[in-house]
């Protein structure tokens, strides 16, 4: 059911495959052997016992060629241990780096906001990349997935910024039109006058003005001059074309008679890992290149919430006092996200058993 990885894929992509295999396996486990078998499937004829050496003209025993694979396995499990270390009990897998085994720790009967958010983002990434055969036929629609990803993004924003969050992206759960939704959001924000009607010359079919998540943290006086973030959700690989900073001047300038604030923090929410596509560096450590990559993207996108950060901050939000939960849109929908995950996993398992 899973699209087999190749040895040319990034360590992060292969780590995703191991996680998905453990999640979707009846045994809820994936191992070194599963991955090597997948490499053989991807290699097709080259996965046979012998490989042809074009220089000597001889067939080489595949065992001689195993060393690069084992080195790759070490890098992949280094990636998995990085994820586990970052997330602690919010990580929905147990990693045994000595035996090269991944076990699913995610439990359908015990909702942990961090594990739910991580697993949802993992499946959303697979859905976008068509990594699971037959997943396009699942009853869960693209629209539902995007709506639930906004829930995950809002939970993460609530955990990180520590204040209120409005889910403004389209499709909106309430189904209300753009201007009424904008007016409601900024009544909650407490400052900024939204225009009463869309003026001639402005797009009449605007859905969200390029803004998906509005987050802020009030002072006790609830007056202006406060922490204020505008973010976009990008669940597809075209996220590099979605810097929210390019939208805000038009957003504030077009739809407000009084701007809500001069200073704001740009944010981006993505279901995959920011370092997914990094190639193995030849002369530097992977950790150094990962840091440099994240710093590079920060200059364009601001605060970036990838799968690891969404899971961590969603869990942090869930630990906040109950009287703050109503401040964040989607806080009551964690169970909906968990149910989406469970339905998706069960559908894949049923399809596998019927194949």
Residues 147 and 266 both lie in one domain: yes
Residue pair 38/30 in contact by the 8 Å Cβ criterion: no
DSSP string of 79-108, one letter each residue: HHHHHHHHHGGGSSEEEETTTTEEEE---T
Residue pair 62/39 in contact by the 8 Å Cβ criterion: no
Residues 282 and 190 both lie in one domain: yes
Instruction: Please give the pLDDT value at position 61.
Output: 47
Is residue 15 a part of any domain in this protein? yes
DSSP string of 336-354, one letter each residue: HHHHHHHHHHHHHHHHHHH
Angle of the 113-128 helix axis to the 334-354 helix axis, nearest 10:
50
Please tell me the distance from the alpha carbon of residue 146 to that of residue 124, in angstroms, as a whole number.
Answer: 9
Higher-scoring residue by pLDDT: 210, 306: 306
Residues 89 and 157 both lie in one domain: no
Q: Which residue has the tokens 């149910």?
A: 339
User: In this prediction, what percent of the chain has a pLDDT beyond 70?
Assistant: 87
Is residue 306 a part of any domain in this protein? yes
Tens of pLDDT, residue by residue over 81-133, are: 999 999 999 999 999 999 999 999 987 667 899 999 999 999 999 988 888 87
Domain that holds residue 236: 142-342
Instruction: Please give the pLDDT value at position 64.
Output: 46
Residues 149 and 276 both lie in one domain: yes
The string over 113-143, giving b where at least 16 C-beta atoms fall within 10 Å of a residue's C-beta and e elsewhere, is bbbbbbbbbbbbbbbbeebbeebeebebeee
Residues 195 and 316 both lie in one domain: yes
Residues 6+ away with beta carbon under 8 Å from 243: 266, 268, 300, 301
Tens of pLDDT, residue by residue over 285-338, are: 999 999 999 999 999 999 999 999 999 999 999 988 777 778 999 999 999 999
What's the number of domains the chain is made of?
Answer: 2
Please report which confidence band the pLDDT of residue 139 belongs to, taking 50, 70 and 90 as the band edges.
low
The neighbour count for residue 73, using CB atoms within 10 Å, is 19
Instruction: Please give the pLDDT value at position 348.
Output: 80
Residues 189 and 240 both lie in one domain: yes
Residue pair 168/162 in contact by the 8 Å Cβ criterion: no
Is residue 352 a part of any domain in this protein? no
pTM of the model: 0.90
Residues 255 and 310 both lie in one domain: yes
Residues 180 and 290 both lie in one domain: yes
Q: Which of 106-110, 111-115, 178-182, 279-283 has the highest mean pLDDT?
A: 111-115
Sign of CA dihedral 104, 320, 235, 88: negative
The SS3 of residue 306 is: coil
Is residue 267 a part of any domain in this protein? yes
Instruction: Please give the pLDDT value at position 204.
Output: 74
């Amino acid at each position: 059911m899973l699209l087999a990885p190749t040895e040319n894929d990034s360590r992060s992509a292969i780590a995703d495959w191991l996680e998905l295999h453990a999640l979707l396996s009846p045994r809820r486990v994936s191992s070194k052997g599963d991955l090597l078998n997948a490499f053989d499937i991807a290699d097709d004829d080259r996965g046979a016992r012998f490989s042809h050496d074009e220089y000597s003209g001889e067939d080489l025993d595949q065992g001689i060629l195993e060393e690069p694979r084992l080195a790759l396995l070490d890098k992949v499990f280094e990636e998995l241990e990085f994820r586990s270390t970052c997330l602690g009990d919010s990580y929905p897998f147990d990693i045994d780096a000595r035996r090269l085994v991944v076990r699913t720790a995610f439990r359908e009967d015990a909702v942990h906001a961090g594990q739910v958010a991580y697993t949802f983002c993992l499946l959303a990434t697979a859905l976008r990349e068509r990594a699971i055969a037959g997943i396009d036929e699942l009853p869960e629609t693209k629209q539902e997935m995007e709506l639930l990803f906004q829930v995950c993004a809002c939970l993460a924003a609530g955990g990180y910024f520590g204040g209120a969050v409005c889910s403004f992206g389209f499709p909106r759960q309430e189904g209300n039109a753009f201007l009424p939704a904008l007016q409601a959001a900024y009544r909650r924000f407490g400052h900024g006058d939204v225009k009463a009607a869309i003026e001639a010359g402005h797009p009449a079919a605007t859905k969200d003005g390029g803004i998906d998540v509005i987050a802020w943290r009030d002072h006790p006086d609830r007056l202006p001059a406060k922490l204020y973030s505008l973010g976009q959700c990008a669940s597809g690989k075209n996220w590099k074309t979605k810097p929210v900073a390019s939208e805000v001047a038009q957003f504030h300038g077009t739809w407000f008679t009084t701007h809500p604030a001069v200073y704001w923090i740009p944010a981006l929410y993505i279901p995959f890992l920011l370092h997914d596509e990094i190639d193995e560096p030849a002369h530097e450590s992977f950790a150094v290149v990962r840091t440099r990559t994240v710093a590079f993207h920060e200059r364009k996108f601001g605060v970036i919430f990838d799968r690891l950060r969404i899971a961590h901050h969603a869990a942090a939000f869930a630990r906040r006092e109950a009287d703050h939960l109503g401040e964040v849109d989607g806080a009551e929908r964690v169970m909906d996200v968990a149910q989406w995950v469970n339905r998706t996993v069960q559908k894949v398992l049923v399809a596998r058993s019927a194949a």
